[in-house]
Structure 1
Amino acid sequence: MITLVAALLLMGVMLGAVVHLPAPVSLAAAAAIGAWLLVFAVRERRARRG
């Protein structure tokens, strides 16, 4: 339960920070984070197969 509360708190802080940034900067940051997560997922999947 504490993990859920911490995750929601962190999400609220991050969304609050994004509101103050211009839209192109927010979209670029979101794209970078998405690409990083995609690379991480591919690396994890390859590591489990091998």
Structure 2
Amino acid sequence: MLFIVAALMLLGVAMGSVAHAPLPVSLAAAAVIGVWLAVFAVRERRARHR
């Protein structure tokens, strides 16, 4: 439960900062996070097959 509350608080802070950032900065940050998540998913999938 505490993890969910902390995640929601972090989401609120992130959404608040994105609302004040210019659109290109927000899109660049979203792209970086997307690539990071894709790399993480590929590494996890490879680790499970070994």
Fold match by TM threshold 0.5: yes
Aligned to 1:45: 45
Large movers: runs of 4+ above 2 Å: none
User: RMSD value over aligned CA atoms?
Assistant: 0.7
With normalisation by structure 2, the TM-score equals 0.92
Q: Which runs of 5+ in 2 are unaligned?
A: none
Q: Which runs of 5+ in 1 are unaligned?
A: none
- In structure 1, give the amino acid aligned to 2:28: A
With normalisation by structure 1, the TM-score equals 0.92
Q: Deviations over 1:21-48 (max 9, x none)?
A: 1001101100110011001100110011
- In structure 2, give the amino acid aligned to 1:32: V
